[in-house]
Amino acid sequence: MIRYHMLVSGRVQGVGFRYTASHLDNLYNLTGWVRNCSDGDVEMEVQGDPGNIDFFIQKLQTESRWIRVASLKRKQMPLEPDETVFHVRY
């Protein structure tokens, strides 16, 4: 298990990015959260199997023709052992 804080920039707001992330997290058995930032980026924390997180990131970039990821920065964080779901923060 691993946890990342991620900051995603590009065409990621108003194109279903948060919905897609929430859907994919369930498919890959990940937990965490996602939210829009005021500067047009999207911020999220994702926790789970490292391979599943890599698949999740790949699918985020190819799942929708509207989403365009220009950059994705990730930083490893301490695990949240009691976290059980992935959710959208508003």
Q: Which candidate in 11, 36, 52, 74 is catalytic?
A: 36
Look up 65 and say whether it is catalytic: no
Look up 18 and say whether it is catalytic: yes
State phi, psi for 29 to the nearest 5 degrees: 60, 50
Nearest CA to 51 among 30, 71, 35? Answer: 30
Q: Spell out the residues 6+ positions from residue 9 whose beta carbon is closer than 8 angstroms to its own.
A: 40, 41, 42, 69, 70, 71, 72
- What residues are annotated to the active site? 18, 36
